[in-house]
Chain A
Amino acid sequence: MKNDKAAKIIEKAVKKGRKALSEYESKQLLAAYGIPITKEILLKDKDGLARATERIGFPLVMKGCSADIAHKTEKGLIHVDIRTVTEARKAFREIMAGMEGFEGGVLVQEMVKGRRELVMGLTRDPQFGPCVMFGLGGIFTEILRDVSFRRAPLEAYDAREMMKEIKGHKILEAVRGMEAADEKRLTEMLISIGRIGLENPDVMEIDLNPVILSGAKPVVVDALVVLK
């Protein structure tokens, strides 16, 4: 049961000798596996900008998008909370200037609102192969290492257990006026990430960071797929 759309995205990048997929490609790959991603349009030039902003709707986010640039924030390639076409044009010019020398474009993306950030991912263990990660976003992952892993393929039980296993799991419940997270959707996402690893040997690592809970619904806001 190979996923043709996903395979094509990967094959194209591998042929070019690339070590990673761009954010846009990464998300197309995720979408091919039914993982919910931000609504977004990739622009190569400014001609389509007005139409893109209209389709995504304000406020929106614009990002430099290239497989060669890992740290977008540090290079000033992310502009958030853009509310007018004028702002969008300005952001477009600045991002293109900042991307000088890199192949890529500008990603016009819906701005997902939510106070809870999660991370998901995939790593390949030398002994056990593809393993799926789940954790809370931001400092919880990087400083506290509050994450859990399960080997692919995951059963629904495994996915639920790995969510329960993190210390901050209560954040997924209905707390401080926020809805309980859509556990079924999260479970499906974790299972799908495992499938991506099992079905695509060229995919070495995946980072979905952050996955924002928009109300109860998880949405992948940024993604990185590392290739062999």
Chain B
Amino acid sequence: MPAGKKQSRPAGSSQFPDADFERIFHPESIAILGVSSDENAVGFGTGMLRVLKEMGFEGRIYPVNPRGGSVFGQKIYTRVEDIPEKVDFAVIAVAAKLVPQALEDCLKIGVAGAEILSSGFSELGTKEGLELENEICEIASRGIRVVGPNCFGIYCPRSGLTMLPGPDLTRQSGSVAFVAQSGGMAIDFAHAGEWRGIRFSKMVSLGNGADLREAELLNYLAGDRETEVISMYIEGIKDGDVFFRELKAAAAHKPVIIFKGGLSKAGARSVASHTASMGGSGVIWSSILKQTGAVQVFDSQELMQASAAFSLLPKRSFRNISVIGGGGAIGVAACDIAERYGIEIPPLASDIRERIEAILPRPGSSALNPVDVANPLVAPSILKEVLMQAAQDEHIELQIIVSLLFHYNPYALMMGVPISEIVPYKELVEAVDDVINKTGKPVVAVLPNARRGPQNMDITELIALTRREYVRRGIPVFDELHEAIRAIAHMNTYYGRRENEKR
């Protein structure tokens, strides 16, 4: 879906102030307030100018500083009023006490939104900090939308807007929107997305959330055509009622995955009834997320794994799967994990089993499901045939292939070459990709690594290269089988509910 089209908002929620999110996420021109004429300056303003240029930001950039001068061969404007065209978006990186005036100036020339990178506001807990933040809120209420303060801002691959530590983030756009209060969490997610195969539509670090907050962004992202999956890291919310309503509405449109930080027992609160003593914030949050149809995860890794699964796999549940691998205790472990997450690994039909047995090495193999291919060195051509056969079973909805590539290590040592030179990982990935295309059934890859020590850096490299081949083709990869199955179980929770409601 091309950018620049009017977005539709879901019904039943229009109490938020006006916001031109198109101009905020895909600005044609931006002003950066707080750029130094010293190119080596370490300030956020100069840093942001540098990273936006490196990212290849699509629009025009106007540096601003009352002292004027020039930087990177560009004129520095002394006042935003002097910028010769309409400015869509502003990056504010001046000292906290100068922020209200800077924001006021931006409002005056009709800037749609501003991200305030500066800190020194409510997060300090001081009277002065709170007052400055209240001033920001007041100015914002008169018609300019604010991200932050105390944030890393917006990353939008399509327009080239990026966060400060992110000059090397990908410009490849994708379907996952990520919203986090924490800037650190956001930038980590952006970096991890790169090698996990998660691509983003837009990412927002909210910081103190003086104006734009999670509920309004849920409302926007629910109707955003660039976004198919919404992932969030939440510490606190402002209004439980509004949040609940927007979350429920958004989750009815598309998957919303939430990692709520700061859950603790109710201990501190004094309550008189048993009921109240049972309802600590952790319990209530879990209930709220279930009730709204959102997916709850419990750490940032799980959030990323779920985001990869939701964005890369077909939009449905997968109750019956096959697991193919060899060289480990794959059979029992897989069944135990699957059962824990309510997923079946049913025995394959007997005729299919016979055909698989005919091509597997003996002894030590089992074609039952999980299919144990006996050893981790089985050729990709044979693995491909096994996957093709297993997919013929009408019950199987998704396949997992577990490859213990590190077991090639002794042979690499024997031959005195890095392991990636002897492992046919490209052929493996091509084979898997071929199976997906021919059978129409998704395959998920698991690449465990039992050898992560410094003496085995070539194995770490091999795994990274194999993973890259997979994610290039849009095939999700997990480190461990339980992570893959847990991510699929999250999809079952989300889509299972919708499939239930349809019935």
A interface residues, Cβ below 8 angstroms from B: 19-20, 70, 119, 121-129, 131, 133, 135, 141-142, 145, 147-151, 157-158, 161-162, 165, 204-207, 209, 224, 226
B283→A149 contact, CB < 8 A: yes
Indicate if B59 sits at the interface (CB-CB under 8 A): no
Bound-state CA distance A182–B287 (Å) is 23
B273→A148 contact, CB < 8 A: no
- For B275, list chain A residues within 8 Å (CB): 119, 121-123, 133, 205-207
Chain A residue at minimum C-beta to C-beta distance from B283: A149
- For A128, list chain B residues within 8 Å (CB): 240-241, 244, 284, 288
- For B283, list chain A residues within 8 Å (CB): 147, 149
Bound-state CA distance A228–B291 (Å) is 27
Indicate if B75 sits at the interface (CB-CB under 8 A): no
Q: Could you tell me the distance in whole angstroms from the C-beta of B247 to the nearest C-beta in chain A?
A: 11
Checking B269, B271, B281, B291 against A150 with a beta-carbon cut-off of 8 angstroms, the contacting residue is B291
Indicate if B237 sits at the interface (CB-CB under 8 A): yes
- For A142, list chain B residues within 8 Å (CB): 274
B291→A151 contact, CB < 8 A: yes
Bound-state CA distance A150–B275 (Å) is 12
- For B240, list chain A residues within 8 Å (CB): 125, 127-129
Checking A20, A131, A207 against B287 with a beta-carbon cut-off of 8 angstroms, the contacting residue is A131
Chain A residue at minimum C-beta to C-beta distance from B272: A226
B274→A207 contact, CB < 8 A: yes
Contact sample, A vs B, 18 pairs, CB 8 Å cutoff: A121-B276, A123-B273, A123-B276, A127-B284, A128-B284, A131-B287, A133-B278, A142-B274, A151-B288, A158-B291, A161-B290, A161-B291, A165-B290, A204-B272, A205-B271, A205-B276, A226-B272, A226-B273
Chain A residue at minimum C-beta to C-beta distance from B274: A207
A206→B273 contact, CB < 8 A: yes
Bound-state CA distance A145–B280 (Å) is 11
Chain A residue at minimum C-beta to C-beta distance from B279: A123
- For B237, list chain A residues within 8 Å (CB): 127
Q: Could you tell me the distance in whole angstroms from the C-beta of A3 to the nearest C-beta in chain B?
A: 20
- For A141, list chain B residues within 8 Å (CB): 274, 278
A129→B278 contact, CB < 8 A: no
Bound-state CA distance A158–B501 (Å) is 12
A133→B272 contact, CB < 8 A: no
A135→B290 contact, CB < 8 A: no
Bound-state CA distance A170–B490 (Å) is 24
B273→A121 contact, CB < 8 A: yes
A149→B284 contact, CB < 8 A: yes
Bound-state CA distance A128–B245 (Å) is 11
Bound-state CA distance A127–B289 (Å) is 13
Chief secondary structure at chain A's binding surface: strand
6 cross-chain pairs, A with B, having the tightest CB-CB distances, nearest first: A121-B275, A127-B240, A149-B287, A205-B273, A123-B276, A128-B240
Bound-state CA distance A162–B288 (Å) is 11
B interface residues, Cβ below 8 angstroms from A: 237, 240-241, 244, 269, 271-276, 278-279, 281, 283-284, 287-288, 290-291, 501
Chain B residue at minimum C-beta to C-beta distance from A226: B272
- For A121, list chain B residues within 8 Å (CB): 273-276, 278
Q: Could you tell me the distance in whole angstroms from the C-beta of B333 to the nearest C-beta in chain A?
A: 25
Q: Could you tell me the distance in whole angstroms from the C-beta of A212 to the nearest C-beta in chain B?
A: 16
A129→B274 contact, CB < 8 A: no
- For A209, list chain B residues within 8 Å (CB): 274
Q: Could you tell me the distance in whole angstroms from the C-beta of A124 to the nearest C-beta in chain B?
A: 8
A151→B244 contact, CB < 8 A: yes
Bound-state CA distance A209–B61 (Å) is 66
- For B279, list chain A residues within 8 Å (CB): 123, 125, 131, 133, 149
- For A226, list chain B residues within 8 Å (CB): 272-273, 276
- For A158, list chain B residues within 8 Å (CB): 291
Additional A-B contact list (11), CB under 8 Å, known A128-B240, A206-B275 = A121-B274, A125-B240, A126-B269, A128-B284, A141-B278, A147-B278, A149-B284, A151-B288, A204-B272, A205-B275, A207-B274
Chain A residue at minimum C-beta to C-beta distance from B501: A157
Q: Could you tell me the distance in whole angstroms from the C-beta of B47 to the nearest C-beta in chain A?
A: 36
Q: Could you tell me the distance in whole angstroms from the C-beta of A168 to the nearest C-beta in chain B?
A: 15
Q: Could you tell me the distance in whole angstroms from the C-beta of B458 to the nearest C-beta in chain A?
A: 48
Bound-state CA distance A164–B266 (Å) is 24
Q: Could you tell me the distance in whole angstroms from the C-beta of B227 to the nearest C-beta in chain A?
A: 25
Q: Could you tell me the distance in whole angstroms from the C-beta of A127 to the nearest C-beta in chain B?
A: 4
With A129-B241, A147-B278, A149-B279 known as contacts, the answer to whether A224 contacts B273 (CB < 8 A) is yes
Checking B273, B290, B501 against A207 with a beta-carbon cut-off of 8 angstroms, the contacting residue is B273
Bound-state CA distance A204–B273 (Å) is 9
B273→A131 contact, CB < 8 A: no
- For B501, list chain A residues within 8 Å (CB): 157
Bound-state CA distance A81–B447 (Å) is 66
A151→B287 contact, CB < 8 A: yes
Bound-state CA distance A185–B276 (Å) is 23
Q: Could you tell me the distance in whole angstroms from the C-beta of B497 to the nearest C-beta in chain A?
A: 9
Q: Could you tell me the distance in whole angstroms from the C-beta of A56 to the nearest C-beta in chain B?
A: 27
- For A148, list chain B residues within 8 Å (CB): 287
Q: Could you tell me the distance in whole angstroms from the C-beta of B160 to the nearest C-beta in chain A?
A: 37
- For B272, list chain A residues within 8 Å (CB): 19-20, 70, 204-205, 226
Q: Which of B281, B284, B501 lies at the interface centre, i.e. has the most chain A CB atoms within 10 A of its CB?
A: B284
Q: Could you tell me the distance in whole angstroms from the C-beta of B280 to the nearest C-beta in chain A?
A: 9
Chain A residue at minimum C-beta to C-beta distance from B275: A121
Bound-state CA distance A162–B279 (Å) is 14
Chain B residue at minimum C-beta to C-beta distance from A133: B275
Chain B residue at minimum C-beta to C-beta distance from A146: B278
Q: Could you tell me the distance in whole angstroms from the C-beta of B61 to the nearest C-beta in chain A?
A: 40
Q: Which of B269, B275, B276 lies at the interface centre, i.e. has the most chain A CB atoms within 10 A of its CB?
A: B275
Bound-state CA distance A157–B290 (Å) is 12
